[in-house]
Amino acid sequence: MSDDLWSRPTLSDLRAVLESIGKSDSEHGREAERLELSVPAELTTSRGNTISAMTREISRHGIGLFHRGSVSPGEVTVRMASETRKFSYRVLIEWCHPCDNGMFISGGRFVTQSDEGT
């Protein structure tokens, strides 16, 4: 683990936490299939703070994230990049829970145009 409290978690950090949590056998009532996705990401909060993260999973409706430090529920911008493209999504973080070694997992749903009026 890095000495910098706000550095991006590594893939091995993510694996260690996911192994300690284990897979849930219960049904979560999710509407969309979730796909495991472990890529570097950045969250930018409404206050302009940028937090380095790794994605955990993604679906049509939302995204799971892994990062150091707590993130308050609310809207953030999540940026990811591949070798050829950059992606930016508005996400409403709905929950954030601590796990081992000062790490946190969080999840949120993508904000769409129809969500803006609510």
What pLDDT shows up at residue 26?
A: 45
75, 64 in Cβ contact below 8 A? no
Domain coordinates in residue numbering, the chain: 11-18+34-112
Alpha-helical segments (H) within the chain? 11-21
User: Contact at 8 Å (CB) between 9 and 103?
Assistant: yes
Q: Is 116 helix (H, G, I), strand (E, B) or coil?
A: helix
What does the pLDDT look like over 39-87, one tens digit per residue?
Answer: 889 999 999 999 999 999 999 999 999 998 899 999 999 999 877 888 8
Domain at 11-18+34-112: CATH code = 2.40.10.220
91-108 residue pLDDT tens = 999 999 998 888 899 999
Return the pLDDT at 83: 78
Helix (H, G, I), strand (E, B) or coil at 101: helix
Which pLDDT does position 112 carry in this prediction? 81
pLDDT, tens only, 17-42 = 666 655 544 444 556 566 777 888 99
